[in-house]
């Protein structure tokens, strides 16, 4: 079985790490050959190469870059794959173009698998509709696809997965978060690791910090991430006079160490495909409090969930988690090996 993975690689976030883990795990399967086409010089290219994956780096500066499409065609002609697996929206569009060209050239076109990681509605003209199978990373994602008219038989749920040992090794490198922020050694910390964008709704998190201050004046809230909402969130922190309690620290290179050094992990998302940060937190034995947005309710126990946008409930639940921490072990179905097994079953169903 030959599999040609495609990801635009413009950022290295949870989705790109899933591509890396999948390719690494599939490399251990007998009879599976694979290559990864991604952006030249990207972090995904670097990390996948370090894992021993055959990577083809291509020019990919535009979202849907014709040069990437052409290089994908050349790769498919010189190394004919059985399947193309497109891992993000731009990759799906480029893969559909490439497959059409192969058809016009009277070359056997490979089957197309696409992964869908978000719960946002699918456009009527989306290239995703040309895939032979769509891998949904949660039941919440699958439900949005079915609501958009995708045939049930073409949508397979395969949850994202993490490598617990890898997460723990990364977390073992000290970050010294409290010293970095000038906090007392035992100061309690609630951490949020996510892009600063509207869907992650850190505004609710900041309002929760305001509500919690009266009951836990010693509690600090760390928001690690960057994005278009940063200035608005900083303004909200100033408006609520929380600069000494809410810390916007930007992108955290040592995200796993940050999670380990925190007392509770908090997700305030309005809509989340699944939430791999939560999987990392579970692998580290950390209690998690989250809004019931999208796939979060599939991995966080009911006692850790609050309604979307409810700052009061979020504050109360975080305080309870600090007083009575009850971490949940990472279920086996959310490991990288289980994820690869599920994706491989999708491949085999098409071949």
How far apart CA 291 and CA 307 sit, in angstroms, is 5
Which tens digit of pLDDT belongs to each residue from 299-346?
999 999 999 999 999 999 999 999 999 999 999 999 999 999 999 999
- The residues that bridge with 181 in the sheet, in sequence order, are none
Question: 278: helix, coil or strand?
Answer: helix
Average pLDDT rounded to a whole number, residues 149-164: 97
**What pLDDT is stored for residue 42 in this prediction?**
96
How far apart CA 318 and CA 53 sit, in angstroms, is 41
**What pLDDT is stored for residue 31 in this prediction?**
94
Angstrom CA distances, 156 to 52, 114, 151, 190, stand at 28, 10, 10, 35
- The residues that bridge with 250 in the sheet, in sequence order, are 224
Nearest in space to 127 (alpha carbons), one of 170, 88, 161? 88
Angstrom CA distances, 111 to 133, 332, 351, stand at 9, 29, 8
Structure tokens at 134: 């769509």
**What pLDDT is stored for residue 216 in this prediction?**
97
* Contact in structure between 316 and 289 (CB atoms under 8 Å): no
Which tens digit of pLDDT belongs to each residue from 26-47?
999 999 999 999 999 999 999 9
* Contact in structure between 21 and 162 (CB atoms under 8 Å): yes
Structure tokens at 262: 């925190």
- Concatenating the DSSP letter of every residue in 58-112 gives E---STT-HHHHHHHHHHHHHS--SEEEE-SHHHHHHHHHHHHHHHHTT-PPPEE
Read off the pTM: 0.95
* Contact in structure between 31 and 62 (CB atoms under 8 Å): no
- Residues contacting residue 308 through CB under 8 Å, at least 6 positions apart: 201, 204, 269, 270, 291, 292, 293
**What pLDDT is stored for residue 10 in this prediction?**
87
* Contact in structure between 239 and 125 (CB atoms under 8 Å): no
pLDDT band at 7 (very low <50, low <70, confident <90, very high): very high
List domains and CATH numbers for the chain. 2-161+335-350 (3.40.50.2000), 165-332 (3.40.50.2000)
Q: Rounded to a whole number, what is the distance in angstroms from the first to the last CA of the chain?
A: 9
Structure tokens at 289: 């409090």
Helices (H), the chain: 14-26, 43-50, 66-78, 89-104, 139-147, 164-171, 177-181, 202-212, 230-239, 255-260, 276-283, 296-299, 311-323, 336-350
Structure tokens at 112: 């197309």
Q: What is the DSSP letter of 154?
A: G
Residue 194 has pLDDT above 90, yes or no: yes
How far apart CA 236 and CA 238 sit, in angstroms, is 5
How far apart CA 42 and CA 90 sit, in angstroms, is 15
Question: 132: helix, coil or strand?
Answer: coil
pLDDT band at 127 (very low <50, low <70, confident <90, very high): very high
């Amino acid at each position: 079985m030959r599999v040609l993975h495609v990801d635009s690689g413009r950022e290295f976030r949870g989705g790109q790490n899933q591509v890396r883990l999948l390719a690494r795990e599939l490399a251990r399967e007998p009879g599976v050959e694979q290559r990864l086409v991604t952006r030249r010089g990207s972090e995904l290219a670097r990390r996948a190469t370090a894992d021993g994956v055959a990577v083809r780096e291509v020019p990919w500066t535009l979202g849907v870059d014709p040069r990437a499409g052409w290089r994908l065609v050349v790769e498919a002609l010189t190394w004919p794959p059985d399947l193309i697996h497109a891992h993000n929206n731009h990759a799906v569009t480029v893969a559909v173009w490439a497959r059409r060209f192969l058809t016009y050239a009277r070359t056997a076109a490979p089957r197309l698998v696409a992964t869908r990681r978000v719960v946002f509605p699918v456009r009527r003209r989306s290239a995703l509709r040309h895939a032979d199978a769509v891998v949904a990373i949660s039941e919440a994602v699958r439900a949005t696809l079915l609501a958009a008219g995708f045939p049930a038989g073409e949508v397979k749920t395969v949850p994202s997965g993490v490598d617990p040992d890898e997460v723990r090794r990364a977390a073992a490198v000290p970050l010294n978060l409290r010293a970095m922020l000038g906090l007392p050694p035992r100061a309690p910390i609630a951490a949020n690791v996510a892009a600063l964008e509207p869907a992650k709704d850190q505004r609710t998190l900041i309002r929760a910090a305001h509500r919690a201050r009266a009951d836990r004046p010693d509690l600090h809230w760390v928001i690690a991430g960057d994005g278009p909402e940063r200035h608005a969130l900083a303004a909200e922190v100033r408006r609520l006079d929380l600069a000494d309690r809410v810390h916007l620290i930007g992108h955290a290179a040592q995200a796993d160490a940050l999670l380990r050094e925190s007392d509770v992990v908090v997700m305030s998302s309005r809509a989340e495909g699944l939430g791999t940060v939560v999987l990392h937190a579970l692998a580290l034995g950390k209690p998690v409090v989250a809004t019931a947005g999208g796939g979060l309710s599939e991995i966080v126990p009911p006692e850790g969930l609050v309604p979307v946008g409810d700052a009061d409930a979020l504050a109360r639940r975080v305080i309870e988690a600090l007083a009575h921490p009850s971490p949940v072990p990472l279920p086996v179905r959310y490991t990288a090996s289980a994820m690869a097994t599920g994706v491989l079953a999708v491949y085999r169903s098409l071949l």
